[in-house]
Amino acid sequence: MANGAEPVAIETLVAPSNYTLKMDLRLIPILGCTYTVLFLDRTNIANARIEGLEKGLNMPPQGYNTCIWIFFIPFVLIEIPSNMIMGLPRVKPNVFLGLNMLILGVVAMCQGLTHSYGGLLALRFLMGIFEATLPAGAAFLIGEYYTRKEAALRFACFFTFGVLGPCVSGLLAYGLRNMHGIAGKEGWRWIFIIEGLFTIFISFFVFLLVPDFPEKTKILSPKEKAHLLQKLRLDKGDQKLDLKSVNWFKVLSDYKIWFPTLMFFCCDMTAASISSFLPTILTELGYRAAMAQVLSIPIWLTGILFQVTGGFLSSRTGRRFPFVLAGIAFVLVGWIIQLVYSTHRGSGSGVGVGVRYFSLFAMSGGTFLQMSMTTAWMTNNLRGRASAAVGTAIILGLGNCANFVAANVFLKTEAPFYKTGFATGLGVTVLGAVACLVFVGLLWGHNRRVRARRERRGQEGVGEVDDQVEYLYQY
């Protein structure tokens, strides 16, 4: 079967209590909040833009695009070493993540205090360094606590907190814009300052609430911890937990990391476009700045609905592939609508404001469904702490490189049609569909060969060695 180790072996274990709920309440809300704040600090620049950021700092024509992509240079480079550090025996996740989040809040707040374009670029670069530790570290920790069947819903809930970031950002920006003139500061400055202070506030809860890895956790009783570790072993095999004597070439060349990363990159192209340009696109659809902030909220809420529903159904069915493919289909509809409008330059295209607004819902729902499902799909098929650390760092680091593309294809000179941006988005999404089909084909072929060998040898496949040779992959 596609889910790897026999589920009957896991279900026969007698749990000392319903400790899974205890883990959920301790892990998901606080780690999810780090992701909310991350997206809040990352995407509020889009809200500040329509409140006068570019004029206030006398930015050059492509200055806003530069502010977007410069953030992702350190973000991509830092994530792998960050997870490697977090996986070291003496490093505590709460201290590591909390300290980085505290510094991130200070830097994010300073964006509202700078008086030069160069200063803003420097701060965006520093934000990329400290923010890189949060999503990969949080996903790394979550993946270590749950079986493959449990992981999809938990990752969906985690990514849902991320979607709340830009959703809340639009609501906050709508309110904070009214602070224009207070203490002699423009409204766009208060967006950065208040949201940066919020990041600092949440960092103290990270210090207090984030637990250690499962084998060292103190949030469970000794009996609960023993049951959890046994359950994880039956589901994932005897995993290597330390980072010593690891075959790094094998880890770094694993196709089960790179195909999901490519798929994440392709769906993140849509997420990056929405995050960075949604308020601007809404104003160009004819809505005033204040109304554009509010109208962005239902689009993000659609992404949340798709993520949670997809995660729940995926956990029930044990499948990832059908949900990823469905998400790609929704995104394709959105990009096609935008491209038809762009190609005909509005007139005679038959694409009205309402249809374009609908396309943003399709893109949001489809892309965020893919993001959580692809991450869960990857972690489900990796074994060993080294692979989990590197895999989560690569998918959330290199996968986010789509922001480089999005920041440079939505050209201000092409507004409001953005033909280059829409065509690129459609092409990248098609590439994601191809990668998805190839990946599931590789996993299916591997499982077919393993089942044939097991039938010949009569092996059960429970608690296999950590070589990923006799392991059934999930798809």
Q: What is the CATH number of the domain that holds 212?
A: 1.20.1250.20
**What pLDDT is attached to residue 14?**
61
Per-residue model confidence as pLDDT tens digits over 271-314: 888 866 676 677 766 777 667 767 777 888 898 899 889 888 98
Per-residue model confidence as pLDDT tens digits over 28-83: 999 988 888 877 777 778 778 877 888 888 888 878 878 888 888 888 888 888 88
Whether the per-residue pLDDT at 339 is higher than 60: the answer is yes
Is residue 247 assigned to a domain? no
Whether the per-residue pLDDT at 469 is higher than 90: the answer is no
**What pLDDT is attached to residue 3?**
43
Is residue 233 assigned to a domain? no
**What pLDDT is attached to residue 382?**
84
**What pLDDT is attached to residue 331?**
95
Give the domain extent around 353. Answer: 25-217+255-453
Q: Which residues contact 361 (CB under 8 A, 6 or more apart)?
A: 298, 299, 302, 334
Is residue 226 assigned to a domain? no
Is residue 246 assigned to a domain? no
Lowest mean pLDDT among 208-217, 405-414, 438-447: 405-414
Is residue 242 assigned to a domain? no
Is residue 241 assigned to a domain? no
Q: What is the mean pLDDT of residues 415-425?
A: 83
**Nearest in space to 300 (alpha carbons), one of 274, 276, 282:** 274
- Give the predicted TM-score (pTM) of the model: 0.77
Give one DSSP letter per residue of 196-216, joined into a string.
Answer: HHHHHHHHHHHHHH----GGG
Average pLDDT score, the chain: 82
Whether the per-residue pLDDT at 462 is higher than 70: the answer is no
Return the number of other C-beta atoms located less than 10 Å from residue 240's C-beta. 16
More confident residue, 243 or 448: 448
Q: What is the mean pLDDT of residues 196-219?
A: 91
**What pLDDT is attached to residue 5?**
41
Is residue 231 assigned to a domain? no
Whether the per-residue pLDDT at 258 is higher than 90: the answer is yes
The long-range contacts involving 342-348, CB below 8 angstroms and separated by at least 24 positions, are 342/417, 342/418, 342/419, 342/422, 342/423, 343/419, 345/417, 346/417
For the chain, the helix, strand and coil percentages under 3-state DSSP, each to the nearest 5: 75, 0, 25
Is residue 447 assigned to a domain? yes
Per-residue model confidence as pLDDT tens digits over 131-169: 888 888 888 899 889 888 888 888 888 888 877 766 676
Total domains in the chain come to 1
